[in-house]
Structure 1
Amino acid sequence: MQIDTSAGPAAQAPRPFYRHLYFQVLVAIGTGAAIGHFYPETGVALKPLGDGFIKLVKMIISPVIFLTIVTGLAGMGTLRGVGSVVGKAFGYFFFFSTLALIIGMIVANVVQPGAGMNIDPATLDASKVTDYATKAHETTLTGFVMDIIPTTFTSAFVEGNILQVLFIAILFGVALILIGDKGKPVVALFEAASHAVFRVVDILMKVAPIGAFGAFAFTIGKYGIGSIVNLAALVGTFYLTSALFIIVILGAVCALNGFSIFRLIAYLKAEILLVLGTSSSESALPSLMDKMERAGCARPVVGLVVPTGYSFNLDGTNIYMTLAALFIAQATNIDLSLEQQILLLLVAMLSSKGAAGVTGAGFITLAATLSVVPTVPLAGMAIILGVDRFMSECRSITNFIGNAVATVVVSRWEGALDMERFQAVMNGARDDQHAEAMPLRGAPAGLQLGEASAD
């Protein structure tokens, strides 16, 4: 497949910079920060703008996931490729999620951002974190697994539970594979519907700057930039560690797979800024799936890796968990042995899955971990409650970039990445058309996943 970069002047004329989504979101974040800082009450009052935009995006997430996975799996024509994608994706998730936990623990021990604070746990107000602790106890691993099964076929869509929608979509896609030609009319209908749904995503992205403006104005107005000064060591250490994880660890993974982490970040810059503005990686989930497919990743891989990654590939959250837990221990002068730290890491590996998908999951997951490891006082979470919102933005961005990298890497491992198109898009070619689908290993000869479609 060739990417046409030589179309006529009218077709290829670059848009003015002010019409690009990333520029509009950047201006919105800056304006929101200024209003939140100088007029904090106004900033707090703008919260509905951010909440409204996130609700709009969550409204469309379920149909995006369902249609992408069903049409992708149905196009595979065989179950062999499904198992291969799932196995490789979860192997990737487990390795890098665990690595993120270990890196957070190492950095906390080397930098020791909480050392010298000398806080007496008895003086902390535990009531501030009671709600988070309650939610943490409600999201056990067993409860998390059981919650994947919806009450009814439609309840998953009504409640907007990503993993439930994913579960139903996989079952439905597998069923279409098994019935063969009889399912083709359904697949054709869903293919047409998917184009309409992604057009809705395009429409919603037009108001993304308004959502980012309201959300960031609220964050600065509510918590104030000055609130991070006393805990600057923790916030700075977390941001620096996350940046190094992205550039060094994920950068090395990208290099080994033939592409640049910096070009991928540049390609997704509008979505990254949106995540920064809204402090939610979910706000960019539909757009990420669309752009990964446009860049040359096969639809089934995108449909399986991205939604599952949002619950199981939380690099930023995992770095935060061990770093924040050890920060609390250091701040309260609690000396944890290596064995206790390893126990903390093992518990975090499980609890990071149990609280996935819950609003404020990072903080809730930390509460779940500390409640199982009583050596570190749960009340110590009150120390970082004031700056958690600022760290939430970094968690979300790191999670988002980690899932983008995972999608490309698993696609390449499966032979389901159009490398020529991907490199062209990374080098700045326009992605106005979806990539021609790549056959997965194990698919029947000549099988193509989906169809090229112009938007």
Structure 2
Amino acid sequence: MTNNNRIVEAADTALSKVDRKKRVRTAAFYIGALIAGAVLGYIGNATVNSITDVIATVYTRLFSFIAVPVIAVSLMATLSKLTRGGNGGTIFAHTVFYTLLTTITAAAVGALIYIFVSPANVADVTSDAAASVEKYESLSYLDHIVSIVPNNLFQPFVSGNVLSVLLVAAAFGLAIASLKESEGKNALISFISGFQELLFKLIHWLIAILPLGILAFTSQLVSQLEAGVILGGIAQYFGVVISSNLLQMFIILPAILLLRGLNPFKIARGMLPALAVALFSKSSAGTLPVTIASAEDNLNVDKRVSRFVLPICTTINMNGCAAFILITSLFLMQNAGIELGASSFILWIVIATFAAVGNAGVPMGCYFLTISLVSSMGVNVALMGIILPVYAVIDMIETCLNVWSDSCVANIVNKEVKDKLN
């Protein structure tokens, strides 16, 4: 071994040790923040709760503020560059394949657990529970689809409609790629790329102080749980939803990673910041900046992959939502006296998969989407008012599963296309 090789090897070893210490220190900060937040939330001091609520709200707003432009700019920048070399189509095809694979699997797992548990009907639906969902019954699923198409350029960004943003960004990116080579085109691409780097600098600043946000989120959650959540007659339904999400999270997705030659423990450790934010923020779109940064910084996912795959996955890869839509729709139909056979379960696996693809990655997005979908089929959705008190917990686990699935898809695609990238 030459002296130069020894020097390079020593430098790599030193950098590896520094990186390992940094990750250990970061994990310690996160764990400390979780413990401190849990203690503060358990104490239940009104002043402390008010402060942590403000901090949690500020963090949620900041991540949402960054997330919408990140989706738009990342897709535009990547499409405008990758399409020219033909790599964009390859990455997109892999992304859609694994998105549909994981989403269909999540819906199928939900159907199997529903059949196995066979939750009992709810005896009564109170007038208050029915009234709590009346205002959403008028929103049909077709209205939801129509709302994705914007009527002006700024509407998607002002309203935070992530599906509309995805549509606009994809159109602009493809349009830029189709332009003839010119100084104007190169200047446009340079501007978008520069703006993208600016956004990621802001993201890294937010991540640097993330433990404070985790402390506030944890305190907020514990104080809410201290108030008590009554499951009552929907305990079995609740168990089916949570069990299907946990099975998908801890068994199915890790198995897919192993089959593709990836270490699920390594990926989970690298994506821990994003999973923590997803759990507490209940918004996969709001978590997107942290998801991209975690994939790039901790797992060395190619930027051309992460900044293309993850924004798309955030809007169409909804494992948790697919399971919730299927299980909740079947539960509502069962309580309405509709007979459920094998064909019903197969049909709803397909419906739930494609409905989840059209869901927005925002808090309670699946809840409102399910009401729109089922009510448009003439099924009474008053029971959703009883589900509402426990949906906060469901939404947390669903969002964490969605982000975990996004992370898995991004890492699989990164491995499969890395040799094909220019």
Is 2:68 aligned against 1:62? Answer: yes
> 3-state DSSP class of the match of 1:5?
helix
Corresponding residue number in structure 2 for 1:161: 161
> Which of the residues 101, 104, 110 maps onto 2:107?
101
Instruction: Name the CA distance, whole Å, in 2 between partners of 1:139 and 1:49.
Output: 37
Corresponding residue number in structure 2 for 1:365: 369
Instruction: Name the CA distance, whole Å, in 1 between partners of 2:158 and 2:189.
Output: 23
Aligned-residue offset at 1:322: 2.0
Show the 5 A alignment for 1:243-392: 243-294=246-297, 295-328=299-332, 335-375=339-379, 377-392=380-395
Aligned-residue offset at 1:368: 2.2
Q: Which amino acid aligns with 1:278?
A: S
**Gap change, CA 1:217 and 1:14, over 3 Å in 2:** closer
Q: Which amino acid aligns with 1:5?
A: D
Instruction: Name the CA distance, whole Å, in 1 between partners of 2:114 and 2:362.
Output: 26
> Which of the residues 38, 41, 46 maps onto 1:36?
41
Corresponding residue number in structure 2 for 1:126: 130
Is the Cα–Cα contact under 8 Å of residues 316 and 359 in structure 2 kept in the other structure?
A: no
Is the Cα–Cα contact under 8 Å of residues 274 and 291 in structure 2 kept in the other structure?
A: yes
Is 2:405 aligned against 1:402? Answer: yes
Q: Which amino acid aligns with 1:166?
A: L
> Which TM-score applies when normalising by structure 1?
0.78
Aligned-residue offset at 1:225: 6.5
Corresponding residue number in structure 2 for 1:83: 89
Aligned-residue offset at 1:318: 1.1
Is the Cα–Cα contact under 8 Å of residues 273 and 294 in structure 2 kept in the other structure?
A: no
Higher mean displacement: 7-16 or 42-51: 7-16
Is the Cα–Cα contact under 8 Å of residues 70 and 196 in structure 2 kept in the other structure?
A: yes
Q: Which amino acid aligns with 1:370?
A: V
Higher mean displacement: 225-234 or 262-271: 225-234
Is 2:36 aligned against 1:5? Answer: no
Corresponding residue number in structure 2 for 1:27: 32
Instruction: Name the CA distance, whole Å, in 2 between partners of 1:181 and 1:142.
Output: 37
Deviations, residues 266-309 of structure 1 (Å, cap 9, x unaligned): 11112212222223323421121233334343333323321221
Instruction: Name the CA distance, whole Å, in 2 between partners of 1:76 and 1:67.
Output: 14
Deviations, residues 17-76 of structure 1 (Å, cap 9, x unaligned): 5x51x4434433443344434417557634332221111111112332333333333433
Instruction: Name the CA distance, whole Å, in 2 between partners of 1:382 and 1:8.
Output: 54
Higher mean displacement: 278-287 or 162-171: 162-171
Is 2:244 aligned against 1:241? Answer: yes
Q: Which amino acid aligns with 1:197?
A: L
Instruction: Name the CA distance, whole Å, in 1 between partners of 2:215 and 2:137.
Output: 31
Deviations, residues 292-346 of structure 1 (Å, cap 9, x unaligned): 3343433333233212212211001111222233445667876533344445444
Structure 2 segments unaligned to the other structure (5+ residues): 1-7
> 3-state DSSP class of the match of 2:108?
helix
**Gap change, CA 1:150 and 1:258, over 3 Å in 2:** farther
Deviations, residues 82-120 of structure 1 (Å, cap 9, x unaligned): 2333233223323322222222121011012x32x6513
Is the Cα–Cα contact under 8 Å of residues 26 and 273 in structure 1 kept in the other structure?
A: no
Aligned-residue offset at 1:255: 1.4
Corresponding residue number in structure 2 for 1:71: 77
Instruction: Name the CA distance, whole Å, in 1 between partners of 2:14 and 2:392.
Output: 46
Is the Cα–Cα contact under 8 Å of residues 65 and 307 in structure 1 kept in the other structure?
A: yes
Q: RMSD value over aligned CA atoms?
A: 3.3
**Gap change, CA 1:211 and 1:345, over 3 Å in 2:** same
Higher mean displacement: 277-286 or 385-394: 277-286
Aligned-residue offset at 1:371: 1.1
**Gap change, CA 1:28 and 1:229, over 3 Å in 2:** farther
> Which TM-score applies when normalising by structure 2?
0.83
**Gap change, CA 1:9 and 1:33, over 3 Å in 2:** closer
**Gap change, CA 1:169 and 1:282, over 3 Å in 2:** closer
Aligned-residue offset at 1:126: 0.3
Structure 1 segments unaligned to the other structure (5+ residues): 417-437, 441-446, 448-455
Is the Cα–Cα contact under 8 Å of residues 347 and 369 in structure 1 kept in the other structure?
A: no
Q: Which amino acid aligns with 1:95?
A: L
Say how many residue pairs are matched.
Answer: 409
Show the 5 A alignment for 1:111-190: 111-112=117-118, 114-115=119-120, 118-121=122-125, 125-134=129-138, 136-137=139-140, 140=143, 142-144=145-147, 147-149=148-150, 151-152=152-153, 154-177=154-177, 178-180=179-181, 182=183, 183-190=185-192
